[in-house]
Amino acid sequence: MFQKSDLDELFNDLEGSHGATEDYDRLLKQTHLAIALFDAKKPLDDQFDPIVVELVAKHQPGG
């Protein structure tokens, strides 16, 4: 399960790379949902942006 430190790193990463883009809101929404599904041990389907999938994989606990 994502802990605060994992979340801080992930969201800092997302903000740094996409915070100034028009896509940020959409990516942030998807990222929160992706984390919730990861925490619930559910797979991410192909509706998720590859950027989000990559971020979650990069910062996932024990990843």
Partner 1 sequence: MPKKVHHVVRRTGTRLEDPIIEIPVAEDIAGVPGIPQIEKDVSFYSREYPLETQNIEKAADREWSWSVYTPEVFEYRELHEKANAPLVAAAAVTGDIEPTVEPVGRDITEDIRRKSYELGFGDVGFTRYDRRYAFASKKKWVKFQGAICVALEQDYAQTQSLPSLEAEYAHFGTYETENKQCLALADFIRSFGYHAQVHSPNDNSAPFLPMFVEAGMGQLGANGQLLSPHFGSRARLAIITTDAPLTYDDPVDYGVQKFCQECLVCADRCPARAIMRDKVWYRGVEKNKLIYDRCRPVMSTYEGCAVCMKVCPIQRYGMKPVMDHWVEEGEVLGKGTDNLEGFSLRDKGYFGPGELPSFDRSLFEFPQGTKDEWLFAQFKDKVEDGDGPTADETSAFLKELKEILAKGTTTIGDE
Residues that bind partner 1 (CB under 8 A): 1-4, 7, 24-25, 28-29, 32-33, 35-37, 39-40, 42
Angle at 27 between CA 23 and CA 30, to 5 degrees: 150
Shortest Å distance, C-beta 61 to partner 1: 11
Output 47 or 50, the one with its CB closest to partner 1.
Answer: 47
| Nearest-approach distance from CB 50 to partner 1, in angstroms | 19
Provide the CB-side half-sphere exposure for 61 (13 A, CA): 11
Strand ranges inside 1-63, DSSP E: none
